[in-house]
Structure 1
Amino acid sequence: MHRTGTFILPNPWDAGTARLLAAHGFAALATTSAGLAFSRGRAARAQPFPFTVTARADNFFHGRPDLHDTVRRLQAFAEAGADVLYAPALPSTEAVRAVCSSLDKPVNVLAAGPLLERSVTELGALGVRRISLGSALPRAALTAVLDAAAELAGPGTFGFARSALGYAESNALLSGS
């Protein structure tokens, strides 16, 4: 390619960006040491703005219900400099307590499964410092649309609209007015 003309050599920083760029037809890719360092949070603390590095152990998301391995991974992330440690899909409050008590950094959990039965106060008492909602808000919005569609297609009524935000209020919220 160097002998046949000028070409673009994009620089992916991880496997995902490499796949995306390759899928767009680029014949060659090269790594970027800075991009890789940025994605790993290295030399990054020197930036002129604050940020938080969150590291996640997705064992329970991927069918590997090994709490010991999850804690081991989170401890390694803490040693590598992560600010917050995240283990989504923990199966119980006992698992949450075990993860939190095994780490010396703030722990994030996902509000899902059995944790939906707990309040912010209860999760905080277990040692949790941050709670993510994941896809809960967009799923709640989709549920409202499906419920409205069922009402429209079924009895043909408009009761769902009674609790909807008004047009002017919606506009004000979204326009920043």
Structure 2
Amino acid sequence: MDTERRELAARFVELHREGCFLLPNAWDAGSARVLESAGFPAVATTSAGVAFSLGRPDHDYHDYLDTSSDGDRVDRTTMIRRIGEIAAEVRIPVSADLEDGFGAAPETVAETISMTLAAGAAGGNIEDFTGDRSRPLYDPELSADRIRAARESVDTADEPFVLVGRTDVLLTGGPLDEAVRRANAYLAAGADCAFVPGAADAGTIGTLVREIDGPLNVVMGLTGNAVSLADLRDLGVRRVTVGGSIARAMYAQLLGAAKELADRGTFSYAEHQIPQPELNELFRRKPEAG
């Protein structure tokens, strides 16, 4: 990691010390540059958005025996290449959505973290979702070992990096107390931050904040929830992501335009486009101050 990236990563670590910040999710260099221009202190990637931009489905349930290939899932090399492209184009820290680390074995997860560091990311999350309907979550002991291996990889690199332990208990229909147990186990195994997607109401989020022994990440925007960033700050949430919701909103606009063209042959969608000169100016790289 070069000096500039190391400084950005150290800044990202500091963001997790206190307070609450919003970490929006990008899927390519252009979307990351737009989010950077809005003044966010850092961006995360979204595996869903990356997959959609490649014409592929996101990591999800599969109904076949070959869980190693996961069908049309974006492979690790492609995903980390995109993470590297994003990190190279912005001057703010980038946190990587690494799904389940692209393999069950702790050694595979450790290798994924090493590759992510080499790509210039300042952080990354490892989830416990398997995609197997008969066993949707990795066993708790293995899940903790996977986080432990990721932590060892970070420590070996001796670079600033925020390791996030994500549990998909709530998304797979499990109880809140299991989500708390897993989140705390991942923190004990070396994660710097816990992530529990599926918590969307103030009561559930407040319980997680009280019972989890470390910083908590929640994801908003999945359902247009009325809980605001100010509400989440008051509840004690440390960081807020939006997952693939921005990408899905963009694709809603694209699909709407496509249907208008195909069904009506009209062009009203173009009334809401950003003018070409404005986008050119946004994407033109300016000299750094000082």
Q: Which residue in the other structure is 1:47 paired with?
A: 157
Q: In 2 relative to 1, CA 71–119 (structure 1 residues): closer, same or farther, beyond 3 Å?
A: same
Q: Which residue in the other structure is 1:159 paired with?
A: 268
Identity across the alignment (%): 29
Letter paired with 2:182: R
Structure 1 segments (4+ residues) deviating >6 Å: none
Partner Cα distance (2:268, 2:204) in 1: 42
- Conserved 8 A contact 1:89-1:112: no
Shift of 1:114: 6.0
Q: Which residue in the other structure is 1:28 paired with?
A: none
Alignment partner of 2:184 out of 50, 75, 82:
75
Letter paired with 2:259: A
Give 3-state SS (helix, strand or coil) of 1:118's partner: coil
Alignment partner of 2:193 out of 68, 74, 84:
84
Give 3-state SS (helix, strand or coil) of 1:68's partner: helix
Letter paired with 1:50: P
TM-score, with length taken from structure 1: 0.71
2:172 corresponds to 1:62: yes
Which has more radius of gyration? 1
Shift of 1:124: 1.3
Give 3-state SS (helix, strand or coil) of 1:53's partner: strand
Partner Cα distance (1:122, 1:115) in 2: 15
Alignment partner of 1:19 out of 68, 71, 86:
68
Deviations 1:6-61 (A, max 9, x none): xxxxxxxxxxxx935xxxxxxxxxx9586388552115235342100100110112
Shift of 1:144: 0.7
Report the number of matched residues: 149
- Conserved 8 A contact 2:162-2:193: yes
- Conserved 8 A contact 1:89-1:110: yes
- Conserved 8 A contact 1:60-1:90: yes
Alignment partner of 2:211 out of 102, 107, 112:
102
Letter paired with 2:176: L
Which structure's relative contact order is higher, taking Cα pairs within 8 Å and 6+ residues apart? 2
Give the unaligned 5+ runs of structure 2. 1-66, 70-105, 115-148
- Conserved 8 A contact 2:195-2:217: yes
Partner Cα distance (1:71, 1:169) in 2: 46
Shift of 1:113: 4.8
Q: In 2 relative to 1, CA 62–153 (structure 1 residues): closer, same or farther, beyond 3 Å?
A: same
Letter paired with 1:79: A
Give 3-state SS (helix, strand or coil) of 2:217's partner: strand
Partner Cα distance (2:224, 2:204) in 1: 11
Shift of 1:154: 4.0
Q: In 2 relative to 1, CA 77–115 (structure 1 residues): closer, same or farther, beyond 3 Å?
A: farther
- Conserved 8 A contact 1:61-1:89: yes
Alignment partner of 2:111 out of 13, 35, 41:
35
Q: In 2 relative to 1, CA 43–35 (structure 1 residues): closer, same or farther, beyond 3 Å?
A: closer
Partner Cα distance (2:278, 2:230) in 1: 32
Shift of 1:86: 0.3
Give the unaligned 5+ runs of structure 1. 1-17, 21-30
Q: Which residue in the other structure is 2:277 paired with?
A: 168
